[in-house]
Structure 1
Amino acid sequence: MFLILRNVNLRRAVVSPSFGAAADFFSSQPPQTRTLHRNKRGGVCTSPNRKCSGRPYNVPPSAEFVARVSGIPTMAKLPHQETADGLDAAFVGVPIDTGTSNRPGARFGPRQIRVESALLRAYNSGTRAAPYESLMVADIGDVNVNVYDLKDTIAYPILQAVAEKNGPVGLVHVDAHADTSDVVLGEKIGHGTPFRRCVEEGLLDCSRVVQIGLRGSGYSPDSYEWSRAQGFRVVQAEECWFKSLAPLMAEVRGQMGSGPVYLSFDIDALDPGFAPGTGTPEIAGLTPIQGVEIIRGCRGLNLVGCDLVEVSPPYDTTGNTALTGANLLFEMMCVLPKVKYY
């Protein structure tokens, strides 16, 4: 699992010991490390001695000058730092899969996503977003997880931390599965139960929850009855076939309003023909284009954090699932509040 989080104080442990890990996430201190400058002619420069703006940001090295295969793999070749001090947003890896119900291997997801992210560049050519001219961002490494604890769920403790700061939040949940089971194999905490636990604890504003891409065989005739009963908007994969999701996302933006929103994207929302490296694949899913439309459709929302989960590299030796995940994370960064667009 990979996270992009902002405006959450790093001093708060968001994965409690009972969940097998202790994780601290980011803060929003004034940026104060590296520099990117834009000169009057619009050219990017990295030397503070030139006549540029002087505002400091972390900027990944361009593959025009530094070979992608060189250096230590960090997310998008950003600098690594131990804490989120001075950052507007941070990339955090959570290498855990001990509670998976089917195929393991997601513990290797953050590492492989970092490797594949070397292909990312500084600007979003599709939207003209310039995140590295807008936000101080760094890779702050991985959570030191307890791989012997079998209670594996990430979204639940993260949303506990987010709600502690922001109150109940809206949720854009992109997934093949609703993750709203009550008990699985006698356990109430697992990767199929987090959003039911979140509702029970009042972490979600249920009128501002949308689940997109749900599909597959189920344990009952209507697998999503509970979600609808809570007030969630459920968009099954069948409603997404053969169409652009831009109109849907216009409706979602209206539903979410100006309140805080969390974006959770399970890679298995995509059809396994595009993203086979995952633990619980379901056929007839979304396309990568639709995945990008969903994320870009979140521009303008008050996003307080994002995650990309369930990338399992052993089930895709081509690396394409991790590459797709890296690009989706970049798209998420581009829609964070205050990102500059040309």
Structure 2
Amino acid sequence: MTTIAEKPDYSLYSNAFGYLRQPLDFRPLDGDADVVVIGLPFDMATTGRSGGRMGPGAIRNASVNLAWEEVRWPWDFSLNEHIKVVDAGDLVYNCGDSADFTQRVEDFATKVVESGKTLLSFGGDHFVTLPLLRAHYKKHGKMALLHFDAHTDTYSQGSKYDHGTMFYHAPVEGIIDPAHSLQLGIRTDYDRSTHLFEVIDAAAANDMTVDQIVAQIKARVGDLPLYVTFDIDCLDPAFAPGTGTPVIGGVTSDKALKIIRGLKGMNIVGMDVVEVAPAYDNSEVTALAAATLGLEMLHVWAVGKDLIK
């Protein structure tokens, strides 16, 4: 008979605090972590339904469904045996102060990146990517951007803090090179005559093979440092209903995961998954999709950094 002492240290949902059950470490720069996870609970830049500030917690909760696997299918190695991931919790800022939030994100991310660690961020609305990009630029210089989304977020008429303007401001600031960047899953209107980014819209992506898409991404990005940002509304609402601005006709979660896996070997320097709004989610499917996309990014990053032998 099994005694109490012989039982496992936890069941599926007990004491699950950090992403993928990784340890919480509020001083992540002091340790030997390879990757730092940060939650960015901010949704004051939304133009649609609010609630993205609750996204990081929902993603962490859903990630327990992934943490029990020793080897994540279809990979053939245990991630935990090759890289160390710590969860720095959620960024603390003065509630209601967008300027304070923006500066604190940039300051925190700058310290992480300059320490030689890689950052995986969970939003929050998509505006959080702009201060993250500013921080990564200080370390890596001008970067390529791979942007999964239903919207281009290149609108110039928005306010200073607007989740639809980041990729207008980032090229203007010289942070990313649109000539080597690509947006995938777009299915809302934009001015094609002035648009700087290559686009694989959702209708095209749904008709193309994964190999065709990955080949186009790699040809566009080349050998530039690559920042990957994934707005969960890139997925069709059938796979991700819990988001602020859902648009039907998106890609499937299966196709998105296969595209992410196809990025192995690329020089990924930063990653985020944003726009999970759990109040509109059904059975945590959106949060689970976001948590899984983050896990796939970690596998691809580890392979790209030659940490898997």
Report the TM-score range of the alignment, normalised by the length of the smaller protein: 0.7 to 0.9
Once the two structures are superposed, the pairs formed by residues 200-219 of structure 1 within 5 Å of their partners are: 200-216=172-188, 218=189
Q: Measured at CA, do residues 69 and 285 of structure 1 come closer, stay the same or move farther in structure 2, by a change above 3 Å?
A: same
> Cα deviation per residue 1:135-186 (whole Å; 9 max; x = unaligned)?
12111111113331357721111111111111100111000000000022xx
Mind listing any 5+ residue stretches in structure 2 that lack a counterpart?
A: 1-6, 100-124
Question: Does 2:237 correspond to 1:272?
Answer: yes
Mind listing any 5+ residue stretches in structure 1 that lack a counterpart?
A: 1-62
Paired residue for 1:171?
145
Question: Does 2:202 correspond to 1:237?
Answer: yes
Cα distance between partner residues in 2 of 1:235 and 1:251: 9
Paired residue for 1:138?
86
2:15 to 71, 78, 84: 71
Cα distance between partner residues in 2 of 1:299 and 1:129: 14
Whether the 8 Å contact between 1:73 and 1:114 is mirrored in structure 2 is yes
Cα distance between partner residues in 2 of 1:82 and 1:202: 32
Whether the 8 Å contact between 2:228 and 2:268 is mirrored in structure 1 is yes
Whether the 8 Å contact between 1:246 and 1:293 is mirrored in structure 2 is no
Q: Measured at CA, do residues 68 and 223 of structure 1 come closer, stay the same or move farther in structure 2, by a change above 3 Å?
A: farther
State the SS of the aligned residue for 1:240: helix
Question: Does 2:135 correspond to 1:161?
Answer: yes
Q: Displacement, 1:64?
A: 7.4
State the SS of the aligned residue for 1:306: strand
Cα distance between partner residues in 1 of 2:154 and 2:148: 13
Aligned residues: 271
The structure with the larger Rg is: 1
Paired residue for 1:82?
26
Once the two structures are superposed, the pairs formed by residues 9-20 of structure 1 within 5 Å of their partners are: none
- Runs of 4+ in structure 1 off by over 4 angstroms are 339-342
Q: Displacement, 1:68?
A: 1.1
Paired residue for 1:54?
none
Paired residue for 1:124?
72
Whether the 8 Å contact between 1:176 and 1:285 is mirrored in structure 2 is yes
Whether the 8 Å contact between 1:82 and 1:140 is mirrored in structure 2 is yes
> Cα deviation per residue 1:9-65 (whole Å; 9 max; x = unaligned)?
xxxxxxxxxxxxxxxxxxxxxxxxxxxxxxxxxxxxxxxxxxxxxxxxxxxxxx976
Computed over aligned residues only, the root mean square deviation of the Cα atoms, in angstroms, reads 2.0
Paired residue for 1:338?
305
State the SS of the aligned residue for 2:179: strand
Letter matched to residue 73 of structure 1: F
Q: Displacement, 1:233?
A: 1.2
Structure (1/2) with the larger helix percentage: 2
Cα distance between partner residues in 1 of 2:78 and 2:307: 5
Whether the 8 Å contact between 1:94 and 1:145 is mirrored in structure 2 is no
Whether the 8 Å contact between 2:241 and 2:282 is mirrored in structure 1 is no
Q: Report the more deviating stretch, 303-312 or 65-74.
A: 65-74
Question: Does 2:247 correspond to 1:299?
Answer: no
Percent of aligned pairs sharing the same letter: 35
Question: Does 2:103 correspond to 1:103?
Answer: no
Paired residue for 2:105?
none
> Cα deviation per residue 1:53-91 (whole Å; 9 max; x = unaligned)?
xxxxxxxxxx97631111142100001111222211111
> Cα deviation per residue 1:255-312 (whole Å; 9 max; x = unaligned)?
3222210000000000001100000000100100111022112111111110000000
> Cα deviation per residue 1:86-127 (whole Å; 9 max; x = unaligned)?
211111100110121010111111001101100112422213
1:92 to 25, 34, 38: 38
Paired residue for 1:5?
none
